[in-house]
Structures are given as structure tokens and as C-alpha cells.
Amino acid sequence: MIQTDINRRSLGVNFNERGEAEVAIWAPLQENVEIILQDKQTIKLTKDDFGYWKTCTKEIKVGDLYKVSLGDDKVFPDPASVSQPEGVHGFSKAVDVQQFKWNDSNWNNLPLEDYVLYELHTGTFTTEGTFAALEGKLSYLKELGINAIEIMPVSQFPGGRNWGYDGVFPYAVQNTYGGPEGLKHLVQACHDIGIAVILDVVYNHMGPEGNYLGAFGPYFTDKYNTPWGNAINFDDEWCDGVRKYFVENVLMWFRDFHIDALRMDAVHAIKDFSATHILREIKQHVNKLMAATGRTHYLIVELDLNDNRFINPLDQQGFGMDGQWVDEFHHALRVTAGEERSGYYSDFNGLVHLAKSYKDAYVFDGQYSPHRKKTFGIKADNNPGKQFVVFSQNHDQVGNRMLGERTSTLVSFEMQKLMAAAVLVSPYLPMLFMGEEYSEPHPFLYFVSHTDPELADAVRKGRKAEFAAFHSQGEAPDPVDEKTFEESKLQWDLLQQPQHKTMFEYYKTLISLRKQEPALKHLNRNQLNVEINEQNQTLLLHRWHEGDHILCVMNFSKSPQPATLPTFKNEWKKLLNSAESIWNGLATAEDRNGAVVTIQPESILIYKNSHE
């Protein structure tokens, strides 16, 4: 395991208790490395072990702007910069990351099983697109019932418009959002109101513009390819410096920014054949940090492998990740709701696979996948429900459609309510995508603001080529055009309109039920039963905890359908009917004859039964 101090950042420019700047730049193949301050003053660094160039000086003050010279007129921003006030090509700003007046000592994260997640993009969540403006919406999220926000990547990217996956400074907080101080202030505000903060980070690739890492050292390897070019070097020559760079990045977010959890983007694209996988090593260091601070932090991964080795505990030779996204639940749900079975949806048959995901999390856990053209997956029988994050939409599933359509414009109002409930009554962690809770009709499109004209043009052409077969739907929006970004912003004034306000109240009610009802709150995958009727397109999800039972009767068809309630000593009590007029449905009352209930089209009935 690499050696690093869990108590403080060591890379880049940091300040000790005497106010001195401690500098460490990893550039193992360079012959001369210097710090150049904005006023042209030069500070020489001395080469230390393992390729680190270091010094301790009072010549650098907090707030100073600087770059790193590698000789021969090669001058770049600091790869470990915490702040890039002038963007990806400008000077780095010296920041004391430990200098913030935190007031959240009473906060120690929430139990993972209690998380109700809300994914958002800082730039489009509000009109202003800043951390400060986001703070103004926290009371709204609290009223909705959200207790964990998942923020799409904020590491410095080129320009001011980007999803965040083109970041090139993993340590630096996007200047147009509010920089490092703005993020810390947001985290403090979230903790004040009882909301955990999950930060999306990208450790599988770097963006193209402003990516100067390769100039400093072997951050990349040509041993492997990823969809974004050469892989990050986690197991080739000089990989120790790269591993330390990313391990320290994780520790910084948790220790210095008080982030509660990380969502790691596409970890299946991380190539590492080391004896200790980088994810496992990250977990080992996080465990040491938690033991030292007493604070709890989670690591959640996006994973397209259906391999529970990633989420199995360290003592079972797993990588120790606390949870993962489950795209297959999303795919099965959307096909059940009427999505065309094309592309990666072609593997999913709808209701049967949705029932399987409720029971097994993974739909493919050892079967042949026609889309992948291979046997795929492994069973995850012993992994608890809290390890799986499910959703009916997210930034990828919306934004990677050519026109960025949200569910609100693809299915009926009734089906939107049914899909929301299907997620929120699952034995997994539910995640909403910003705006779905009030049926936001604006799309979430793909957008960038590269300052390199050639790169911007390449992205534009690439997006058009990607959707060349979809011309019947119109032209792919120009990702570089600022209007594409503006069109993706939420329309908060819609909450004043009856239909959107109704949807918000419906989501609020569902989330409240999930938190209040023991059978929904406890994520025991063994106390669950699913029955389906393919002909009627109905699904009965029965969950229980001790003496409390919840029955969710779902009708995905466009016609009323009968369903038989299980026989219990006590009567089933109706908790919610999504088709009732209070939710802008057509049902006037529960249509029930003994144990047989008629469920309205595209709706859900939720019942409760309690006994000793």
C-alpha cells in the first residue's frame, strides 16, 4: 500500500502551522522543476525520492497565483491545484484547504440505508448555476424528503458549461460554481439542515482540454484503451505516484471538504491488475481516515459489470465499495413502461426482468446477454439492499438521448407516477434526477464550452455523427451553443402550476411513506416476494418487516386490471392510490370486492397490513 499522511494533503501547495508553504510536485522524469509566481518570482524545487520535487518556503502566501515550470518554456498550472480562478489554462491559486470555520461537529453522516438521493447538476439546477444559489433550494429539497444530494462532478473543466466529466484538475473546484470556498459553504449549509453531500468524481479518464498531467509524468499508460483514450496509469511503471495522487484526492474531499460520500464514475473503465486494486487501496485509506476522525464516509460506484467483487467487503477479498448504481433496474423499468427495446434495452423483456431486479438486483447474473453477446454477471444474493442505487432516470439516461427528453415528455402523467413509486418502494436506495419530482419538461442535453475551436468543432461533429440514424427526430442540438445549456435549466416557476405542484406533493407523499413504514424503510431483500401477470401487465410487490406488511400493486397496462390481495388475518388498509383525483387521476374511490381489487391503468395501489 502506498504511504500517505491521512491527516493532511501533501501534494501541490499546502500550508503548515507556521504559515510556510510546503510544495510537492510529482514529475519523476523531469530535470528541473520550479514554481513561478504571477509576479515572475521563481522558486526552485529540489528533487526528492520517487520523483517528487519539494521545498518549504515563506515566499508563497495564501491567495498567491502561480504556475509550475518544467524547463524549456514548459509552464503549466499545478496538477494538484485546489483553485483555478482563471480556468484550466490560467494560474493556480495557493489555497490553505484546512482554513475554513466548520460548524458541523455534531454531524456524522446518515446510515447508508436511510439515504434518499437526489442527483443534480450545479450549473443547470438554478438560474445562476452556482453553489450559493443551490443553497437557496435546500429547504425545498428538505421539504420534499431528500436527505442526500449527489452533485455531478465539480472538478475544474474548460469554460463554464459542462456536465463535469471533462474535468482536468481533480483537486480544483470549478471557478464558475464558486470555487473551493463555495463548495465548503454549501456542504456546511447541507449539514446544518440534515442533508448529506455526495460528490461525483471521475478517476477513469481526464478531459481533453487543459489536460496537462502527461507533461508532468506517466499519469497515463498505453497498455490499455478506454472510450476516452489511454487509460490512467494505475499499474504500469511509475504508477505509485499516480495512485497516491488519486488516493489523496479521495481523502481531501472527505477530510478537508467534509463530503459524506463519493460516487465514482464508470469504475469498470479503471484498468488495474495490481495485486491490490486501486479501489481496494482507496477503501483501506478511507477506513484509516474514519478511524482517526470518527466520521463516516461512503464510496459508491457506477459499475457496468454486475460483479459484486467491487461491493464485497475487504475481508471477503472484495474492493469494499459501499454501494453501486444498478442500471439494469432502470432498463427493466423503462421497457416495462413502454420504452422501445433497442440498443442496450434490447436485452430486457419488461415485467419479468423488473420482478427479477426487485428480487436479485442484477437482472443478468450468469445468463447469456444477446446485446453483449456473452454470458454476463454473477449473483449478488448476500449483498444487502443498501448497496444498490436505483432510479427511473439520471443524467446519463436522459442526457444521452439525442434530444435529452425527460420521462415527463415520454410517458403519460399516470405512468410518471407509477415509475416514481416503482423506485421508491424498492428494497434499494432510491435516487431522483433533479426536476423529476415536479415533472420538469425541459430536456437535459449534452453541453460543453471548450475554448479550443478545433476541439469544440470535433465535439459538435461527433455528436451529430452519433445520432446520424435519428434524423427523423430532427437534428442533434449543438452541444457548444449556449442555448443548449440554457434550455437544460430547471424551470422553478412551474411549481406554481397545478399539475406540477400535484406531482411534487405526490413525490413528497411517497418519500414520507418510505421513511415511515417499517416494511419500506428496512431494506431486507430476504423479506420480499414478487408476483407478476404478464398478460395483464401487473406486478405485486410484497415487503415486510416483523409484523408490518406492505403490498404494492402495480398496473403497467393501459386498461383496468384485477389483482387478488393475499389473505391475512387482518384487513389490508389502503395507504395510497396514484389514480385518485387528489393526484389528478380518474379514480373516485377504491374499486374492491373482497380480496379482488381493480387497479386503474398505469397506476399503483399501496396497502398495509399489521399483525403481531
Give the residue ranges of the annotated binding site for substrate: 263-268, 327-331, 395-400
Residue 59 near residue 44 (C-beta atoms within 8 A) = no
Annotated binding site: 263-268, 327-331, 395-400
604 and 418 in contact (C-beta within 8 Å)?
yes
β-strand pairing of 388-390 with 429-433: parallel
Amino acid letter, residue 534: E
DSSP summary character for residue 587 = B
The Cα 598–Cα 123 span in angstroms is 45
- For 483, other C-beta atoms within 10 Å of its C-beta total 11
Give Cα 268 distance to the centre of its chain: 15
Cα–Cα distance between 407 and 392 in angstroms, integer?
A: 8
| Distance, CA of 89 to CA of 168 (rounded, Å) | 10
User: Which residue is associated with the grid cell 415487503?
Assistant: 543
Inter-residue contact 393 to 399 (CB < 8 Å): no
CB contact at 8 A, 74 and 215: yes
> Is 96 assigned a catalytic role?
no
C-alpha to C-alpha distance for 80 and 82, rounded to whole angstroms: 6
**Cα gap 265→151, rounded to integer Å:** 12
265 is catalytic: yes
Q: Which of 300, 587, 544, 268 lies closest to 427 in space, CA to CA?
A: 544
Amino acid at 54: K
| Cβ neighbours for 355, distance < 8 A, ≥ 6 positions apart | 530, 531, 532, 539
Q: What distance in Å separates the CA atoms of residue 227 and residue 396, rounded to the nearest whole number?
A: 15
CB neighbours of 229 closer than 8 A, spacing ≥ 6? 205, 220
3-state secondary structure of 191: helix
Distance from C-alpha of 465 to C-alpha of 457, rounded to nearest angstrom: 12
Cα gap 198→187, rounded to integer Å: 10
Largest CA distance in the chain: 85
Q: Which of 96, 166, 248, 265 is catalytic?
A: 265
The H-or-E segment that residue 568 falls in is none
Grid cell at residue 14: 499546502
Active-site hit among 64, 166, 281, 302? 302
Catalytic residues: 265, 302
